[in-house]
Structure 1
Amino acid sequence: MKDKIIHKSADMFLNLGFKSVTMDDIASEMGISKKTIYQHFTNKTKLVEATTLQVFEFISHGIDCICELEKNPIEEIYEIKQFVMLHLKNEKSSPQYQLQKYYPKICATIKKKQFEKMHGCVSQNLDRGVSQGLYRKNINVEFTARLYINGMMSLKDQDIFPLENFSMHVLMDNYLEYHLRGICTIKGLEKLTQLLTTNH
């Protein structure tokens, strides 16, 4: 039952926002009593914490599976973006924004985990791109990885990119192209152009 509650809550939180969804909403959606939820989670904060961790673990595992395929690094970046977009449903509301505002401690913990995960992933991608001649040999991997992650995180900042003016999908596409054009060799740019042509 605990897993079912986490699963349903994750779906509702990501679609409607962490603040908007109440324990009553979850109970009625699942056809159970609120008491049943409280048997597993003493309060909503505990439920939000369990849910965000579960979503993080799920997405991390998905990213690991994509990286294990060892596609060319440019394709890999786009595959990861597609996977994350599919599961984070960032279009309808901004769950990240509500999480930051109402659950800052949980948000800080998740951000730290996200940074560690992305740092490993992006650094590997950059190393592989350089060794395959797709990214420039002289890029500073540590600097580029941190800059990329920081930029990616700031896409979710509604003060900089208000949702009504920027769809998350377009933002991500523009950002990936911006990042890759800055680090690709001629060979890499050919791959990128090929990929963008196929995707559009």
Structure 2
Amino acid sequence: MRENIIEKSSELFLKLGFKSITMDDIAQEMGISKKTIYIHFNNKTTLVEECTMFIFHKIVDNINCIRDLQKNPIEELYEIKKIVMLHLHDEKGSTEFQLQKYYPKIFIALRKKQFQIMEDCIVDNIKKGVGEGIYRENINVDFIGRIYFSGVTTLKDHDIFPEEQFPIKVLMDDFLEYHLRGIVTPKGRKILNALINSNHE
């Protein structure tokens, strides 16, 4: 039951926001009593924390599956972007904002975990790309990794990128291409152009 509550609550939080959904909403959606939820979770904050980590680990597991396929580094980043887009598909724009505003401690803990995973993933991707001759040798790996993370997290700031002007799919595509064009070699550029052209067909 505990796992079912986390799964259903996560789905509702992503669709309607952490602040918007109440314990009553979850109980009604699941056809159980609110008391049943409180048997497993002391309060809503505990449930939000569990759901946030559940969503995070689900995305990380999917990313690791892609990394295990050993694709070339450029293709790998495009596959990871697809996973992130699938996750964002059901997410309401204000979800992350609500987490930051109403559950700041959970938001900070999540951001730290995101940074650790992203840094590991991007740094590994860059080193692999340099080794394969598709990324330039003279790049500062740690700098690029941090700039990439900073850029990705900023994309969801609707003050900087209003949704009506910058649809998230186009934004993600443009950002990834911007990142890659700054670090690819001529060999890498051919792979990148082929991927972009195939995605546009």
TM bucket by the smaller chain?
Answer: over 0.9
Q: What residue in structure 2 maps to residue 45 of structure 1?
A: 45
- Structure 2 unmatched runs, 5+: none
Q: Segments of 4+ in structure 1 off by > 6 A?
A: none
Counterpart-to-counterpart distance in 1, 2:128 and 2:121? 11
Amino acid at match of 2:109: T
Q: What residue in structure 1 maps to residue 33 of structure 2?
A: 33
Contact preservation (8 Å) 1:14, 1:90: yes
- Structure 1 unmatched runs, 5+: none
Deviation at 1:94, TM superposition (A): 2.7
1:125 aligns with 2:125: yes
Q: What residue in structure 2 maps to residue 11 of structure 1?
A: 11
Q: What residue in structure 2 maps to residue 190 of structure 1?
A: 190
Deviation at 1:121, TM superposition (A): 0.3
Deviation at 1:84, TM superposition (A): 1.5
Structure 2 counterpart SS, 1:81: helix
Q: Aligned residues, how many? A: 200
1:181 aligns with 2:187: no
Counterpart-to-counterpart distance in 1, 2:189 and 2:16? 39
Deviation at 1:93, TM superposition (A): 3.0
Amino acid at match of 2:34: K
1:98 aligns with 2:59: no
Contact preservation (8 Å) 2:14, 2:91: no
Contact preservation (8 Å) 2:73, 2:129: yes
Contact preservation (8 Å) 1:90, 1:168: no
Q: What residue in structure 2 maps to residue 156 of structure 1?
A: 156
Deviation at 1:171, TM superposition (A): 1.0
Higher mean displacement: 2-11 or 54-63 = 54-63
Higher mean displacement: 61-70 or 114-123 = 61-70
Q: TM-score, normalised by structure 1?
A: 0.97
Counterpart-to-counterpart distance in 1, 2:120 and 2:107? 20
Contact preservation (8 Å) 1:62, 1:83: yes
Q: TM-score, normalised by structure 2?
A: 0.96
Q: Return closer, same or farther for 1:121/1:97 CA change in 2, 3 Å cut-off.
A: same
